[in-house]
Amino acid sequence: MVGSVLRPNTSDRECMIPPIANNFVAGEDPATAIDHVRACNRDGVGGILNLLGEHYSERPPADADTQAYIDLIADLAAADVSGCVSVKPSQIGLDVGVDVFEENLASIVEAGQQHGRFVWIDMEDHTTTDVTLDAFENHARGTDGDVGLCVQANLKRTREDVERLADLPGKVRFVKGAYDEPADIAHKDKAAVDAAYRELLEFAFREFDGGIGVGSHDPAMIDYAADLHAEYGTDYEVQMLMGVREDAQRDLAADGVPTYQYIPYGGKWMSYFYRRLRERKENAFFALRAIVGQ
């Protein structure tokens, strides 16, 4: 189930995000998002903050979000919470130019190094996979593993990519894949994606030295990761979205599994919130129930 209670607006700060949406988005400003990380930490859950924004075709907004991440990293360190960041390539300039993306990512990674904060790179659609992998490889080597990359089980190429990643420092987050990709390069059937996800996990637990992020809400995949950990002893963590199976997040953390919540925040919350509602009828039902006050 999605969170069983409506999240109250506990922050003293004015929250412009209506109750309902604030189950999935932490707030509009970084201070409110960091308050949410602090609340997660009290349950033993770490935070992965994502400033909402993507596909900028001009450089100024890409640079502005890059600066926002740099400031956020300093704020996370000053707040002394267990939290890191996750950035989207198209948010920091990939659609403007590969050089812009690389320059901005380097600034964010440098801030991460300066303040001891991990930097995740989200994976977007298949047209961005190569450049994102290359950027990750560069920073994984350059920071000796203080960066992470997301890979998508729905893409047929990912098994080969993961073989390349096995030799690199850093972490890899495994997800099923959120983008509607062409059938010649992607598994379209849910069962095939699930099978590919299991194969990737099995390979990673067998071949990686650690640094496996299980980015899934699927109880079957979480259980499978626990079985693989028991078999191979490889370290891993579970990552889930804010507002999704939060009871499970707390239970995993209480059981000693490193658990992180991916926490979106920022002014561009509306489209993210509607995506969450569209994705599962339970989410829409939950929102409706909140509106009618049951």
How many helices (H) and strands (E) in the chain?
10, 8
Catalytic residue among 122, 146, 161, 194: 122
* Six-digit token string for 163: 């073989």
Contacts from 161-165 at CB under 8 Å and sequence distance 24+?
A: 161/129, 161/133, 162/200, 162/203, 162/204, 163/203, 163/207, 164/133, 164/137, 165/133, 165/136
Cβ atoms 130, 161 nearer than 8 A: no
Stretch that binds ligand FAD, among 129-137, 198-206, 228-236, 275-283 (CB under 6 A): 275-283
Minimum Å gap between C-beta 175 and ligand FAD is: 3
* 42 is a catalytic site residue: no
How far CA 12 is from CA of 9, 17, 35, 175, in Å, comes to: 8, 14, 10, 35
Report the residue number, 1 or 185, with the smaller CB distance to ligand FAD. Answer: 1
Stretch that binds ligand FAD, among 71-79, 126-134, 265-273, 279-287 (CB under 6 A): 279-287
| Cβ neighbours for 294, distance < 8 A, ≥ 6 positions apart | none
The tally of CA atoms less than 13 A away on the side-chain side of residue 286 is 26
Stretch that binds ligand FAD, among 75-83, 176-184, 229-237, 251-259 (CB under 6 A): 176-184
259 lines the binding site for ligand FAD (CB under 6 A):
no
Total residues interacting with ligand FAD, rule: CB under 6 A: 25
245 lines the binding site for ligand FAD (CB under 6 A):
yes
* 80 is a catalytic site residue: no
122 lines the binding site for ligand FAD (CB under 6 A):
yes
* Six-digit token string for 46: 């770490």
Q: What residue has token string 């194969």?
A: 199
Binding-site member from 70, 87, 100, 150 for ligand FAD (CB under 6 A): 150
116 lines the binding site for ligand FAD (CB under 6 A):
no
Contacts from 11-20 at CB under 8 Å and sequence distance 24+?
A: 11/35, 17/269, 19/290, 20/287, 20/290, 20/291
Positions 177 through 236 that interact with ligand FAD (CB under 6 A): 177-179, 215-219
Binding-site member from 205, 262, 265, 272 for ligand FAD (CB under 6 A): 262
Q: Which residues are catalytic?
A: 122, 173
Binding site for ligand FAD (CB under 6 A): 1-2, 122-123, 150, 152, 175-179, 215-219, 239-241, 244-245, 262, 280, 282-283
